[in-house]
Amino acid sequence: MNPPGRRTAAVLALATALAAPFEGLRNYAYLDPARIPTICYGSITGVKLGDHKTDEQCKALLGEEMLVRVQTVDRCVPGLPINMLAAWASAIYNTGEQLVCNVKTSTAARLLKAGQLIEACHQLLRWNKATVGGVLVPLPGLTRRRAAEEELCLTP
C-alpha cells in the first residue's frame, strides 16, 4: 500500500485520534454490545473469539481500516474539508458506509450530496443507537462519540 498523501495523512491522524478513545483498546476478541466479535479498536473484520493481537498490531489495524473509511467518504462525498472528512470517517468506522454513501436510506448522505454540509453534520447525533437484544437503543458511549464527531465536523 502506498503511503497516504499529506492531506489524507492529516485526516487519518484526526479520525484515528477521535475514534480510538471511544473504541477503546482490547487485545483479545470479545463480543460488543450488539454481540459482534470485535478486537483492538473496534475491528470486526474476520474476528473470531479467542483471537489476540499486540498493541502494535492493533494500532496498525486501526490505521489500515481508518484509511479505507477516509477513502470511502472521499469517494462518496469528494472534496470535504479535512475536519468534516475526519468526522465522517470516524463515524462510518463505527456505523458503516451507508451513513455517507446511501442517499436512499440516509438523510446525512442526501444532505452531503446536496452540499448542505452543516445540516449533514447535525445528522451525526441521530446515529447513537445499536441493536441490543433485538431492540434499537441509544448507547451512552455512542451518544458521546457522535457529539464529538459533530463538534469536529462543525469546527473549521
pLDDT in tens, 37-80: 999 999 999 999 999 999 999 999 999 999 999 999 999 999 99
**Has residue 85 been placed in a domain?**
yes
Strands 37-40 and 129-132: unpaired
**Has residue 102 been placed in a domain?**
yes
In eight-state DSSP terms, residue 52 is B
**Has residue 40 been placed in a domain?**
yes
Considering only CA atoms, give the Rg of the chain.
15
Using CA atoms, how far residue 83 sits from 3, 44, 53, in Å, is 20, 25, 30
**Has residue 123 been placed in a domain?**
yes
Contact 38, 62 (CB under 8 A): no
Beta bridge partners of 52: 28
DSSP 99-133: HHH-TTT-HHHHHHHTT-HHHHHHHGGG--EEEET
The reported pLDDT for the residue numbered 33 is 78
Rounded to whole angstroms, the Cα distance separating 21 from 24 reads 5
Q: Max alpha carbon distance in the chain (Å)? A: 45
7 or 133, higher pLDDT: 7
Query: What are the grid coordinates assigned to 106, written together?
Result: 440516509
The reported pLDDT for the residue numbered 1 is 55
Q: What is the mean pLDDT of the chain?
A: 95
Contact 34, 61 (CB under 8 A): no
The reported pLDDT for the residue numbered 32 is 87
The pTM assigned to this predicted structure is 0.93
**Has residue 103 been placed in a domain?**
yes
Indicate which residues carry an active-site annotation. Answer: 23, 32
**Has residue 69 been placed in a domain?**
yes
Domain containing residue 92: 6-154
Rounded to whole angstroms, the Cα distance separating 47 from 26 reads 12
**Has residue 79 been placed in a domain?**
yes
pLDDT surpasses 80 at 2: no
**CATH number, residue 21:** 1.10.530.40
**Has residue 1 been placed in a domain?**
no
The reported pLDDT for the residue numbered 3 is 66
Structural domain count of the chain: 1
